[in-house]
Amino acid sequence: MSKSSRLFEIIQILRAAEKPVRAQQMAQVLEVSERTIYRDIASLQAMQTPILGEAGVGYVMRKGYDLPPINLEVEEAEAIAVGLSLIARTGDPGLWRAAGRASRKLQAVAPGTRRLVTSSWGLDEISTVDLGHLRAAIREERKLAIRYVDGSGAATKRVIWPLVLIYYVDAVMIAAWCELRKGLRHFRLDRIEHLATQEADFKGAGAALLHEWEQTQKAQTVTTRALSID
């Protein structure tokens, strides 16, 4: 990795962090020595990058620091994000690490791409649900009314707060907050008989719910199909 790419990665790591990040942590992610991280931090600070902290304590990025925008349409950014996730299926660790770095760069200018996730399988068929319509609801934090049929054939009407789309070999799934169950649930799109966007939204609540999903369910969700699905 070139020095310029490494500096960019350090900025991305610090911008995404919720607490101080130690040089050792960044060194492990970027596969360099701690000494290299200390030199890079010094270089960034010399360029007036608002990084605060010191060796042995950790570093933080002052809020509000922005990078130049990438001129991509929303769906172009979403397509790139899904494509980068699919690189995990190649079995190439180096390529996967590079894809991770590219994803962090993309998320810096298109945060909504964080809500598109793939598993280690490929998708054979697309659900009859309009995925573009669904992705728009996720971006806009708009509630959805659905008629859902579970694995036993029982149908229920739900209002869900869509958070994340997950692409699997045999289905697309959506992670959402379910008002009926009052919790995070996963729904197979091929079991949704009807879907309608509501006037009501959940603006302001999506980020916290997404964080909860990432902390409690993401790892399990993207690595196995043996899920507890409504």
- Which residue bears the tokens 């739900």? 158
Distance between CA 187 and CA 75 in Å, rounded?
23
Instruction: Encode pLDDT of 106-122 as tens digits.
Output: 877 777 777 887 765 54
- Which residue bears the tokens 């409504």? 230
Mean pLDDT in residue range 167-177? 81
Mean pLDDT in residue range 116-134? 66
The answer to whether residues 67 and 103 touch, using CB atoms and an 8 Å cutoff, is no
Domains of the chain as residue ranges with CATH: 3-61 (1.10.10.10), 74-114 (no CATH), 131-221 (2.30.30)
The per-residue pLDDT for 223 is: 61
The DSSP bridge partners found for residue 106 are none
Average pLDDT of the chain to the nearest whole number? 82
| 66 pLDDT more than 90 | no
The per-residue pLDDT for 227 is: 39
Residue 93 or residue 12, greater confidence: 12
- Give the pLDDT band of residue 123 (cuts 50, 70, 90): very low
pTM for the whole thing?
0.53
3-state secondary structure 166-225: EECCCCEEEEEEECCCCEEEEEEHHHEEEEEEEEEECCCCHHHHHHHHHHHCHHHHCCCC
